[in-house]
Chains A and B, each alone.
Chain A
Amino acid sequence: MQLGAVDWGIIALYLLFVLGIGIVASRRNKSGTDFFLAGRAIPAWVAGLAFISANLGAQEVIGMGASGAKYGISTAHFYWIGAIPAMVFIGVFMMPFYYGSKARSVPEYLRMRFDEKTRALNATIFAFMTILNSGISMYALAKLIQTLHVFDIPFERMGLPESWIFHAAIGASALVVLVYIYMGGLRGAIYNEVLQFFLIVAGFAPLVWLGLKQVGGWHGLETTLGPSYTQAWHGMAHASTNRLGVDWFGLSMGLGFVLSFGYWCTDFLVVQRAMAADSMTAARRTPLIAAGVKMFIPFIVILPGLIAIALTSAPDKTGALSHPVAVAGAIQQHDPGVIPIKIDSATGKPMLDARGRPQLDYDLATPNLLLRYFPTGMLGVGLTALLASFMSGMAGNVTAFNTVFTYDIYQAYIRRKADDAHYVLVGRLATFFGIAASVAAAYLASQFNNINDFLQLIMAFVNAPVFATFLLGMFWKRTTGHGAFTGLAAGTLTAAIHHGLTLPLDDIVGLKGGWIAVTHTYPSEMAQNFWTAIWAWSACFLVTIAVSLVTRPRPEEALAGLTYSLTPKTSEAHGAWYGRPVLLGVVMIAAVIVLNLIFR
């Protein structure tokens, strides 16, 4: 596929607008509140769309398409079970403490509620993770652009080797994000995230439209793929009868409760968007408005995966755990299909699974579908959507990093008292060095191909227990700083031990688990992951309570506005239903139940 002049024009126009928004947003960046919190002046709907966009990075878009092709519509559980309830919870119950405490970051809230060491632990790990995350997604984008071969011809014409496409993709995307955050701060990032959100939808929605047209609509997908792909709750009674390899309990507790609440309710990357809202009601409505849109995102990111697998193979329709791979492998000798076979980059041969069948490269499901359906013109829109999703995801990480670095590391431990302008300067420098470190991480990722598995593992260990700390901190005034800190450490340790004692079926001892001894085998990696989280959360919860009971709590007057029973209840706003957080939350939960019933 070759890019035409129109495609280049569209990409250039997009870059022009993104940079322009950064420049316009910079005009009012005078104080720290402006740069790090967008002046706390963002309307609810803008903050809500930015909230989704920051989580709709390229890895998410590509990864959800890949999961759709591999697991089917059950992937939507990551949204319907694994996001919406937690987003409603933070909006209705937790936002009053985050926004009301006037904390400038999540680690700062932890310092106010508990103590310095709990904040230091959270801030350091978070800063490190955001850099690695944005580096790895930068690597994924550059690799994808190289794989799609869309820039081969222009590079050839300029006399540059093909390997330079990778460097150019990393350099250019890093530079654009750097300029608009350096200048516009969080405000620049948020306004761009809204623009990027609409572009992502505009790029992927027509893909689903054309794909469904070709496979005969949703009904066509149902007949081609069978219920195990098209029913989200198919075979969920037992771990062995569904594609995910988890049962309903592991799914709703592990994903729906521990992992989802741990991410959506405590991760500063998302909370920062709501903290920038212009009022308490707007801050509470931010995640709720986001939830209303988020529940429909599966239709543009997961459906391309299902369409791609339907066009690649026709697995048997019994609904048993039939592997589509074997069929696809056989078909592929005649018709390459949409999803190619995974090739080992070292040997150049197809990669085989434990039973000797060729594996499919699911990550190419969405990108290949895009190349297949989009002619010149729409191709530019599709590539712009990929770029937009990458940039919004990266900007989310970078703005969260510069704030946590400046307020929770620099101001807390390096230079305590300086004027506001000094901290804005530090924030700008942190943006620069943060992006430079991300670029380094991207090259690190290109050297070690399992770095992403490693990062996911560390995140699972660290993130799983964290929601227990916040839940107890916000709703039990007796919780102490020592309790919170020991609980977090115990939870992380429990996660590591559980991982070391268990192994997913057909996996090799090592990074996938079992490095202490294999005492239990899970049907899938996902099941192991969910149960690791459940154990870690429970350990943190119990240890925090135990240690809190034997240590001295903070005096009650120091906890006003930070914990539920000592905070004056915010009266529900009057007016239309969509302006009232609690009512809005109820509507969102009802809507997601309806979606689950439709796709059960």
Chain B
Amino acid sequence: MLFDVRLPIGLLFLGIGVLVTGAGLMGDPAVFRAHSAGLNIDVAWGLVMGGFGVIMLLLAGLAKRKAPPADGES
């Protein structure tokens, strides 16, 4: 593989997760009650996405440590 696609996926999801969780923490609780069935979906799903991003980054890191840096595509 040219580069591990899990790396950009992990970074993007971590970034979006932080943004969405932040929006949820700063948002007006009344909006969530009216909008999303009483659940602060921003915080809940923001954490899920951020967590997924971290897992992807860990997997990419593990793969890199296991395989010595290959010359060319592997």
Contacts and interface: CB of A to CB of B under 8 A. Distances in A.
A4 B28 CA distance: 13
B74 to A, nearest CB: 8
B72 to A, nearest CB: 9
A377 B12 contact: no
Majority DSSP secondary structure for residues of A touching B: helix
Given A41-B73, A195-B12, A206-B41, A374 B36 contact: yes
Interface string A168-203: 000000000000000000010001001100110010
Contacts of B23: 4, 6, 375-377
Interface string A374-396: 11111011001000000000000
B41 A373 contact: yes
Contacts of A384: 16
B15 interface: yes
B8 A21 contact: yes
Interface in A1-53: 4, 6, 9-10, 13-14, 17, 20-21, 24-25, 27-28, 39, 41-43, 46
Contact of A374 (B9, B41, B46): B41
A507 B58 CA distance: 56
A28 B2 CA distance: 8
A278 B32 CA distance: 47
Contacts of A191: 5, 8
Nearest to B22: A6
Contact of A213 (B9, B15, B22, B39): B39
B41 A378 contact: yes
Nearest to A372: B35
Interface string A508-520: 0000000000000
A182 to B, nearest CB: 17
Interface in B1-46: 1-3, 5, 8-9, 11-13, 15-16, 19-20, 22-24, 27, 31-32, 35-37, 39, 41-42, 44-46
B6 to A, nearest CB: 9
B13 A202 contact: yes
A214 B52 CA distance: 26
A195 B5 CA distance: 8
Contact of A187 (B2, B22, B31): B2
A6 B16 CA distance: 9
B27 A376 contact: yes
A206 B73 contact: no
Given A195-B5, A198-B9, A374 B35 contact: yes
B73 A39 contact: yes
Contacts of A194: 5, 9
A21 B1 CA distance: 13
A375 B30 CA distance: 11
Nearest to B46: A377
Interface residues of B, number: 31
Contacts of B16: 10, 13-14, 202, 381, 384
B59 to A, nearest CB: 11
A210 interface: yes
B37 A10 contact: no
Given A13-B19, A377-B27, A206 B45 contact: yes
A42 B50 CA distance: 26
A375 B42 contact: yes
B51 to A, nearest CB: 11
8 contacts: A6-B20, A46-B5, A195-B9, A202-B13, A202-B49, A206-B44, A210-B37, A213-B39
Interface of B: 1-3, 5, 8-9, 11-13, 15-16, 19-20, 22-24, 27, 31-32, 35-37, 39, 41-42, 44-46, 49, 52, 73
Given A213-B37, A377-B42, A378-B41, 10 more contacts: A14-B12, A17-B11, A17-B12, A21-B8, A39-B73, A373-B37, A373-B41, A374-B36, A374-B41, A375-B36
Interface of A: 4, 6, 9-10, 13-14, 17, 20-21, 24-25, 27-28, 39, 41-43, 46, 187, 191, 194-195, 198-199, 202, 206, 210, 213-214, 278, 372-378, 380-381, 384
- What 10 pairs across the A-B complex have the smallest Cβ distances? A377-B23, A377-B42, A6-B23, A41-B73, A377-B20, A206-B45, A17-B12, A214-B37, A375-B35, A213-B37
